[in-house]
A and B are shown apart, each in its own frame.
Chain A
Amino acid sequence: MRRRLISASVAALGLTLAACGGSTTPTAPAAPITIGVSISQSGDFSGDGAALKQGYDLWADDINAKGGLQGHKVTMKYVDDASSTQQVVTNYQNLITVDKVALVFGPFSSLLTIPASTVVDRYGYAFPEPAGGGPQVFNRGLKSIFFVQPAAVEDNLVSYTKWLLSLPSGQKPASVAYATQDDPFTQPQVDKAKSLLEAAGVKTAYYHVYPAETTDFTPIALQVANSKADAVILGTQLPDAVAFAKTFIQQHFNPKTIIETTGPDQGSQFSDKLGANTEGIMVPAGWTPAATAYGNNKFVSEFIAKYGGKAADISADAAEAYSVGQVVDQAAAKAGSIDNAKLIATLHTGTYNTVQGPMSFDATGKPQGGVGVYIEQWQGGNAIFVYPSTVASAQPEYPKKSWQ
């Protein structure tokens, strides 16, 4: 009996010494982990879901190539939510309780992030997410959510309004037409832009909110065209972004400036539907392939190597998803752990570098630091930063050229 105890003690001592042995002693690799994500592979957000998956997969390749997340090899597990607010909740519930994934990353859109974040928070998981930045994401007292974009969604068009108001008085638009989906991502930013411009004395020529499930956008676009406004601000996703532009072309309505909240930032998914008529269309964006932010060159070159195409084809959604991985990697290194409670506590402090630039998070998970969202404009077949001048690679094209 005594001999057994001595043997066990020696073995335990050996293991302890091995564990404390520093770099000269080989350590057992940490167990592989699975990271769960609900992705929209069908329904309204399926295009964005596909881009999100590309970004997450690319980050998983990178992190595994450098030895894993804190030594844990990463496997991504995706489940389809069909763009449904019910299914996304079921998906995260299953990922956490049935699949017992180590970490979860966010889905696409505020619409899906809001219900998903409630269930994720209930299980004490950190919820870094790339695409849910509407006001309702942050006003429910959750401490586990982190929106990995340069600014909260409602501020997305602030740069654009600043630019409009900075134009010389003779060039400043006298009237603006607004139309937006009743979506928690699009409407808050359009409403904020409207209030800022109205406060500065810019007349509202048209304002209407339309249901997100609208399929025929032509009557709304006709009204915008009929308003003959100098500037047009649209709260869109990709299908309506394309539909509005096409109706304006059909109606020979060419305002001095057009900005759409989403769509023009989707690379070739946008340009292959409008061709040369993308020229001059703007979008608020925190990322472009040409940005000099942390790791962006590597991200762009690896993306093209893995998925083909050219830099202009890359969707901002993919960059945002990749940024989620970057933030989690740095937080895990800082915390020395992938434990969710430690990650949540760590993410509320410090600054994290991403391909979208540096960012930090306040107590509600809202991005801080005043990095802001820039203005991107299609010029000569590429979407490039045009405002503010600190990041611009070209002057804004104003007024926009005629349709072709």
Chain B
Amino acid sequence: MTLVLEAAVLGVLTGGVYALMASGLTLIFGVMRIINVGHGALVVLGAYLSFAASRSLGLDPFATLVITMPVMFLLGVLLQTVFIRPLKTDREALSVLVTYAIALGIEGLLGYFFTANYRQLHAWYDTASFPVGDFRVTYVYLFGFVLCLAILGAMFLFLYRTTFGASIRATMLNRTAAQLIGIDVDRVAAVAFGIGMATAAAGGVVFGITNAFNPGSHYDLISRLLTIIVLGGLGSLRGAVIAALIMLVSEDITSVVISPVWASFTFFVILIAVLIVRPQGLYGVRVRERL
């Protein structure tokens, strides 16, 4: 029983990290209606930037976010302006190709500069833990979870308490209508892509402390992030958070109760069951197609 409880706690804590990574992906989809299959590569890029900053400046991995999040935000604005904005027709399909190309480009550059060797971020808390009842909670997962709460909280405040946030939400609801009422949707899209990349940097630092990573680590990540936002409902931040928690808690409990072999399968059973009942995902909006 203790083990199940421990797995559930671990699932919640790591689920928070996945929620942070997936929030950027679902925000980008919500605003631009593009599927950013390069998002996993952006998380890995964030991990490498923190690794480089940590090594060269001697900073704590979390402290490197002061540098990496603004850098990734600006890079996101640049990538959106150069590669995504020119897509005027068939945006959803073409965006998959363009963002996949971006992912391969990032992977190649990281391989060139950092080699294919596995790296990992270090801090005093990556192996430290404290007792809670009969089990131990690791500081790094707790810190990562607190970071996720802080960033997701800030993102919700930005979206729901600022005028620009309202512009983003309006664009997510109806891009054409937002344009008609005078919102500069291109600017909104560039900022949203930048925010998505900044959250990827934040997710990347926790990913980089808890996992050995190399330039190819993004393939496993993106498949998990995409399934999270499909379960949560494409474009829904709240959905991404809930789905990430469901994924990690169900997988971790299945892993300890039944077998690691069935962990992913269990999540997909939940995913399919939800999609049968709610094809738009947990918090997705049903879109009426044109006849």
Where the two chains meet, the residues of A that have a C-beta atom closer than 8 Å to any C-beta of B are: 40-44, 46-47, 49-50, 82-83, 182, 208-211, 213-216, 218-220, 222-223, 226, 238-239, 242-243, 246, 249-252, 269, 273, 275, 277, 403
Q: Are B219 and A222 in contact (CB under 8 A)?
A: no
In whole angstroms, what is the CA distance A211 to B263 when docked?
A: 10
Quick one: which of B3, B10, B255 contacts A226, CB cutoff 8 A? Answer: B3
Cα separation A214 to B223 with both chains bound (whole Å): 12
Asked if B111 and A41 make an inter-chain contact with CB atoms under 8 angstroms apart, the answer reads: yes
A211, A213, A218, A220 — which one has the most chain B CB atoms within 10 A of its CB? Answer: A218
Shortest Cβ gap from A171 to chain B (Å)? 28
Closest to A214 in B: B260
- Known A-B contacts A269-B117, A277-B127; the reply to A251 vs B255 at CB < 8 A is no
Q: Closest CB-CB distance, A254 to chain B, in whole Å?
A: 12
Interface size range of chain B in the complex: 35 or more
Known contacts A47-B116, A239-B118, A242-B120; is-contact A249 B216 (Cβ 8 Å): no
Q: In the complex, identify which listed stretch (B79-87, B144-152, B207-215, B233-241) lies at the interface while the others stay far away.
A: B207-215
A220 to B260, CA, bound (A): 7
Complex CA–CA separation, A44 to B219 (angstroms):
10
Q: Which of B214, B224, B264 has the most CB of A within 10 A?
A: B214
14 further A-B contacts with Cβ under 8 Å, apart from A42-B107, A219-B255, are A42-B111, A46-B117, A208-B259, A209-B260, A213-B220, A215-B211, A218-B252, A219-B7, A219-B251, A222-B10, A226-B2, A250-B136, A269-B118, A275-B122
* Cβ A238 vs Cβ B6 within 8 A: no
Give the residue of B128, B212, B252, B261 whose beta carbon is less than 8 angstroms from that of A210: B261
Cα–Cα, bound, A403→B127 (Å): 10
Smallest CB separation, B49 vs chain A (Å): 19
Contact (Cβ within 8 A) A82 B216 = yes
- A–B Cβ pairs within 8 angstroms, 6 of them: A218-B252, A222-B3, A239-B212, A243-B211, A250-B129, A250-B136
Query: Residue on A with the closest CB to B221?
Result: A215
A182 to B263 Cα, complex, angstroms: 14
Chain B contacts for A214, CB-based, 8 A: 260, 263
**B221 / chain A contacts, CB cutoff of 8 Å:** 215
CB distance from A213 to the nearest CB of B (A): 6
Residue of B nearest to A240 (CB): B212
Q: Is B14 among interface residues, defined by CB-CB distance under 8 A?
A: yes
CA distance A191 to B225 in the complex (A): 34
Q: Tell whether, in the assembled complex, residue A47 and residue B118 are in contact, meaning their CB atoms are under 8 Å apart.
A: yes
Q: Using an 8 Å CB-CB cutoff, how does the interface string of B25-68 with A read, 1 for contact, 0 for none?
A: 00000000000000000000000000000000000000000000
Tell me the complex Cα distance, A223–B263, Å.
14
- Whether B138 and A239, one on each chain, are in contact in the complex, defined by CB atoms closer than 8 angstroms, is no
Q: How far is the CA of A275 from the CA of B138 in the complex (A)?
A: 19
Partner of B129, one of A211, A243, A251, A269: A251
Complex CA–CA separation, A220 to B11 (angstroms): 13
Question: B179: CB under 8 A from chain A?
Answer: no
Whether the pair A246, B215 counts as a contact (CB closer than 8 A) is no
- Contact status of A218 and B10, CB under 8 A, knowing A46-B216, A250-B138: yes
Q: Is A47's CB under 8 angstroms from B220's CB?
A: no
B270–chain A nearest beta-carbon distance, Å: 17
Query: Looking at the complex, which one of B127, B220, B260 makes contact with A219 (CB distance below 8 Å)?
Result: B260
B115 in the interface (beta carbon within 8 A): yes
B126 contacts the other chain (CB 8 A): yes
Tell me if B126 and A219 are in contact (CB < 8 A).
no
Output the nearest chain A residue to B264 by Cβ-Cβ distance: A211
Residue of A43, A208, A211, A246 near B216 (CB, 8 A) is A43
State whether the Cβ of B256 lies closer than 8 Å to any Cβ in chain A.
yes
Residue in contact with A239 in the complex, picked from B126, B128, B211, B261, CB distance below 8 Å: B211
Residue of B at shortest CB range from A43?
B216
Most B Cβ at <10 Å: residue of A40, A208, A209: A208
Task: Determine the distance from Cα of A50 to Cα of B214 in the docked complex, in whole angstroms.
Answer: 12
A352 CB → nearest B CB, Å: 30
Query: Given the complex, which residues of A lie within 8 Å of B107, measured CB to CB?
Result: 42
Q: With A219-B7, A222-B3 in contact, do A46 and B214 touch (Cβ < 8 Å)?
A: yes
> How far in angstroms is the closest Cβ of chain A from B112?
11
Interchain CA distance A44-B126 in the complex, whole Å: 23
Complex-state Cα separation, A40 to B116, whole angstroms: 9
CB neighbours of B135 from chain A (8 A) = 251
Q: By the criterion CB–CB under 8 Å, are B7 and A222 in contact? A: yes
Contacts of B216 in A (CB 8 A): 42-44, 46, 82-83
Pairwise interchain contact A211-B220, C-beta atoms closer than 8 A: no
Q: Quick one: given A41-B111, A47-B118, A83-B216, are A249 and B127 in contact (CB under 8 Å)?
A: yes
CA distance A403 to B118 in the complex (A): 23
- Please give me the residue from chain B that is nearest to A216 by CB atom: B14
Distance A246 CA – B127 CA, assembled complex (angstroms): 6
Q: Which 3 A-B pairs have CB atoms at the shortest separation, nearest pair first?
A: A46-B116, A210-B260, A219-B255
